[in-house]
Protein backbone atom coordinates (compact mmCIF):
# COMPACT_ATOMS: atom_id res chain seq x y z
CA UNK A 1 0.00 0.00 0.00
CA UNK A 2 1.20 3.47 -0.81
CA UNK A 3 0.47 6.21 1.62
CA UNK A 4 -1.25 9.09 -0.16
CA UNK A 5 0.93 12.16 -0.02
CA UNK A 6 -0.45 14.93 2.20
CA UNK A 7 -2.10 17.61 0.10
CA UNK A 8 0.37 20.44 0.15
CA UNK A 9 -0.69 21.72 -3.24
CA UNK A 10 -1.59 25.27 -4.04
CA UNK A 11 -3.70 25.97 -7.13
CA UNK A 12 -0.42 27.03 -8.76
CA UNK A 13 1.56 23.84 -8.16
CA UNK A 14 -1.43 21.64 -8.98
CA UNK A 15 -1.68 23.52 -12.27
CA UNK A 16 1.91 22.75 -13.18
CA UNK A 17 1.34 19.03 -12.61
CA UNK A 18 -1.90 19.11 -14.64
CA UNK A 19 -0.22 20.85 -17.58
CA UNK A 20 2.48 18.17 -17.68
CA UNK A 21 -0.14 15.43 -17.78
CA UNK A 22 -2.24 17.25 -20.42
CA UNK A 23 0.83 17.68 -22.63
CA UNK A 24 1.79 14.04 -22.22
CA UNK A 25 -1.59 12.35 -22.68
CA UNK A 26 -3.49 15.07 -24.53
CA UNK A 27 -6.31 16.96 -22.82
CA UNK A 28 -9.01 14.59 -24.15
CA UNK A 29 -7.03 11.56 -22.99
CA UNK A 30 -6.61 12.86 -19.42
CA UNK A 31 -9.05 11.83 -16.69
CA UNK A 32 -9.34 13.13 -13.10
CA UNK A 33 -7.92 9.71 -12.18
CA UNK A 34 -4.74 10.45 -14.18
CA UNK A 35 -4.43 13.86 -12.53
CA UNK A 36 -4.95 12.40 -9.08
CA UNK A 37 -2.25 9.76 -9.71
CA UNK A 38 0.24 12.26 -11.11
CA UNK A 39 -0.30 14.67 -8.22
CA UNK A 40 -0.32 11.88 -5.64
CA UNK A 41 -3.46 13.26 -3.99
CA UNK A 42 -7.06 12.07 -4.07
CA UNK A 43 -9.61 13.29 -6.58
CA UNK A 44 -11.60 14.94 -3.80
CA UNK A 45 -8.47 16.90 -2.82
CA UNK A 46 -8.24 18.13 -6.40
CA UNK A 47 -11.91 19.14 -6.30
CA UNK A 48 -11.06 21.13 -3.20
CA UNK A 49 -8.89 23.35 -5.45
CA UNK A 50 -10.75 23.38 -8.77
CA UNK A 51 -14.13 22.41 -10.22
CA UNK A 52 -12.60 19.88 -12.62
CA UNK A 53 -10.16 19.36 -15.44
CA UNK A 54 -11.73 22.02 -17.67
CA UNK A 55 -10.97 24.66 -15.03
CA UNK A 56 -7.35 23.49 -14.96
CA UNK A 57 -7.23 23.76 -18.76
CA UNK A 58 -8.70 27.25 -18.64
CA UNK A 59 -6.18 28.41 -16.05
CA UNK A 60 -3.30 26.86 -17.97
CA UNK A 61 -4.11 28.33 -21.38
CA UNK A 62 -5.00 31.66 -19.74
CA UNK A 63 -1.51 31.81 -18.33
CA UNK A 64 -0.06 31.36 -21.84
CA UNK A 65 -2.49 33.79 -23.44
CA UNK A 66 -2.05 36.45 -20.75
CA UNK A 67 1.72 36.22 -21.22
CA UNK A 68 1.40 36.66 -24.99
CA UNK A 69 -1.16 39.48 -24.84
CA UNK A 70 0.88 41.31 -22.19
CA UNK A 71 3.70 41.72 -24.73
CA UNK A 72 1.35 43.86 -26.86
CA UNK A 73 0.90 46.30 -23.96
CA UNK A 74 4.61 46.85 -23.35
CA UNK A 75 5.77 50.38 -24.20
CA UNK A 76 8.05 49.12 -27.00
CA UNK A 77 5.03 47.42 -28.60
CA UNK A 78 2.94 50.59 -28.46
CA UNK A 79 5.27 53.42 -29.32
CA UNK A 80 7.48 54.07 -32.31
CA UNK A 81 7.62 52.78 -35.87
CA UNK A 82 5.41 49.78 -36.59
CA UNK A 83 8.37 47.71 -37.80
CA UNK A 84 10.20 48.29 -34.49
CA UNK A 85 7.06 47.45 -32.52
CA UNK A 86 6.67 44.28 -34.58
CA UNK A 87 10.28 43.31 -33.93
CA UNK A 88 9.74 43.82 -30.21
CA UNK A 89 6.61 41.65 -30.22
CA UNK A 90 8.29 38.86 -32.20
CA UNK A 91 11.19 38.82 -29.74
CA UNK A 92 8.90 38.84 -26.72
CA UNK A 93 6.66 36.11 -28.19
CA UNK A 94 9.68 33.81 -28.34
CA UNK A 95 10.73 34.76 -24.81
CA UNK A 96 7.22 34.12 -23.42
CA UNK A 97 6.99 30.83 -25.33
CA UNK A 98 10.22 29.68 -23.71
CA UNK A 99 9.58 31.00 -20.19
CA UNK A 100 6.04 29.53 -20.20
CA UNK A 101 6.96 26.53 -22.37
CA UNK A 102 4.51 23.88 -21.02
CA UNK A 103 1.63 26.37 -20.96
CA UNK A 104 2.21 27.62 -24.51
CA UNK A 105 2.74 24.01 -25.70
CA UNK A 106 -0.69 23.13 -24.31
CA UNK A 107 -2.22 26.24 -25.90
CA UNK A 108 -0.83 25.31 -29.32
CA UNK A 109 -2.28 21.79 -29.06
CA UNK A 110 -5.80 22.88 -28.17
CA UNK A 111 -8.29 21.32 -30.61
CA UNK A 112 -11.70 22.87 -29.98
CA UNK A 113 -13.76 20.03 -28.45
CA UNK A 114 -14.91 22.01 -25.39
CA UNK A 115 -16.10 25.57 -24.76
CA UNK A 116 -12.77 26.40 -23.08
CA UNK A 117 -10.80 25.11 -26.05
CA UNK A 118 -12.94 27.10 -28.48
CA UNK A 119 -12.46 30.20 -26.35
CA UNK A 120 -8.68 29.61 -26.35
CA UNK A 121 -8.63 29.18 -30.13
CA UNK A 122 -10.53 32.45 -30.52
CA UNK A 123 -8.09 34.32 -28.31
CA UNK A 124 -5.18 32.82 -30.28
CA UNK A 125 -6.78 34.10 -33.47
CA UNK A 126 -7.16 37.55 -31.86
CA UNK A 127 -3.51 37.56 -30.98
CA UNK A 128 -2.42 36.43 -34.46
CA UNK A 129 -4.64 39.16 -35.89
CA UNK A 130 -3.01 41.85 -33.71
CA UNK A 131 0.44 40.76 -34.92
CA UNK A 132 -0.73 40.70 -38.56
CA UNK A 133 -2.04 44.26 -38.08
CA UNK A 134 1.41 45.36 -36.91
CA UNK A 135 2.96 43.79 -40.00
CA UNK A 136 0.39 45.55 -42.19
CA UNK A 137 1.21 48.87 -40.54
CA UNK A 138 4.93 48.27 -41.10
CA UNK A 139 4.20 47.52 -44.76
CA UNK A 140 2.13 50.73 -45.05
CA UNK A 141 5.13 52.65 -43.65
CA UNK A 142 7.29 51.14 -46.43
CA UNK A 143 9.48 49.38 -43.86
CA UNK A 144 8.93 45.82 -45.08
CA UNK A 145 9.64 44.35 -48.50
CA UNK A 146 6.75 45.19 -50.80
CA UNK A 147 6.83 41.68 -52.34
CA UNK A 148 5.87 39.94 -49.08
CA UNK A 149 2.20 39.06 -48.73
CA UNK A 150 1.12 39.93 -45.17
CA UNK A 151 -1.14 36.94 -44.44
CA UNK A 152 1.36 34.45 -45.80
CA UNK A 153 4.29 36.07 -43.97
CA UNK A 154 2.33 36.11 -40.70
CA UNK A 155 1.60 32.40 -41.02
CA UNK A 156 5.21 31.54 -41.80
CA UNK A 157 6.57 33.62 -38.94
CA UNK A 158 4.10 32.08 -36.49
CA UNK A 159 5.00 28.67 -37.90
CA UNK A 160 8.68 29.28 -37.17
CA UNK A 161 8.02 30.57 -33.66
CA UNK A 162 5.47 27.92 -32.70
CA UNK A 163 7.74 25.12 -33.92
CA UNK A 164 10.09 25.95 -31.05
CA UNK A 165 7.85 24.02 -28.63
CA UNK A 166 8.64 20.86 -30.62
CA UNK A 167 12.38 20.87 -29.96
CA UNK A 168 13.28 23.37 -27.24
CA UNK A 169 14.26 21.62 -24.01
CA UNK A 170 15.29 23.98 -21.19
CA UNK A 171 17.17 21.21 -19.38
CA UNK A 172 19.36 20.45 -22.43
CA UNK A 173 21.56 23.51 -21.79
CA UNK A 174 21.46 24.45 -25.45
CA UNK A 175 20.52 27.97 -26.52
CA UNK A 176 18.96 30.24 -23.89
CA UNK A 177 15.61 31.91 -24.43
CA UNK A 178 17.38 35.12 -25.35
CA UNK A 179 19.62 33.36 -27.89
CA UNK A 180 16.64 31.72 -29.57
CA UNK A 181 14.80 35.06 -29.59
CA UNK A 182 17.85 36.76 -31.15
CA UNK A 183 18.06 34.07 -33.85
CA UNK A 184 14.34 34.37 -34.68
CA UNK A 185 14.54 38.16 -34.90
CA UNK A 186 17.63 37.97 -37.13
CA UNK A 187 16.02 35.43 -39.44
CA UNK A 188 12.60 37.07 -39.63
CA UNK A 189 13.80 40.63 -40.15
CA UNK A 190 17.14 40.31 -41.95
CA UNK A 191 17.31 36.75 -43.25
CA UNK A 192 20.28 34.45 -43.45
CA UNK A 193 22.11 36.03 -46.32
CA UNK A 194 24.93 38.37 -45.46
CA UNK A 195 24.14 41.87 -46.70
CA UNK A 196 26.16 42.57 -49.85
Choose between 52 and 191: whose C-beta lies nearer to a copy of itself.
Answer: 191
Residues 6+ apart with CB under 8 A from 147: none
- Is residue 189 within the footprint of a copy of itself (CB under 8 A)? yes
Map the footprint of a copy of itself across residues 25-64, applying CB under 8 A: none
Question: CA end-to-end span of the chain, whole Å?
Answer: 71
Choose between 5 and 178: whose C-beta lies nearer to a copy of itself.
Answer: 178
- Is residue 115 within the footprint of a copy of itself (CB under 8 A)? no
Chosen residue from 114, 130, 162, 177 binding a copy of itself by CB under 8 A: 162
Measured between alpha carbons, how far is residue 149 from residues 91, 132, 156 in Å? Answer: 21, 11, 11
Measured between alpha carbons, how far is residue 30 from residues 47, 79, 116 in Å? Answer: 15, 43, 15
Task: In whole angstroms, give the CA distance from residue 33 to residue 45.
Answer: 12
> Which SS3 state, helix, strand or coil, does residue 77 take?
helix
Tell the smallest beta-carbon distance from residue 108 to a copy of itself (Å).
10
Measure the CA angle with vertex 151, ends 120 and 164; round to 5°: 55
- Is residue 24 within the footprint of a copy of itself (CB under 8 A)? no
Would you give the binding string for a copy of itself spanning residues 64-93, x where CB under 8 A is met?
Answer: -------------------x----------
Residues lying near a copy of itself in the complex (CB under 8 A): 83, 135, 138, 142-149, 152-153, 155-160, 162-164, 166-167, 175, 179-180, 182-184, 186-195
Amino acid sequence: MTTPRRDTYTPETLLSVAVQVFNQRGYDGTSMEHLSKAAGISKSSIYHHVSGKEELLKRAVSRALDGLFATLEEPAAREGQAVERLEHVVRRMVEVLISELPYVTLLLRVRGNTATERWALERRRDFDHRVAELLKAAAADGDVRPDVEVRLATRLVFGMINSIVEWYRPEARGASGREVADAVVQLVFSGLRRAA
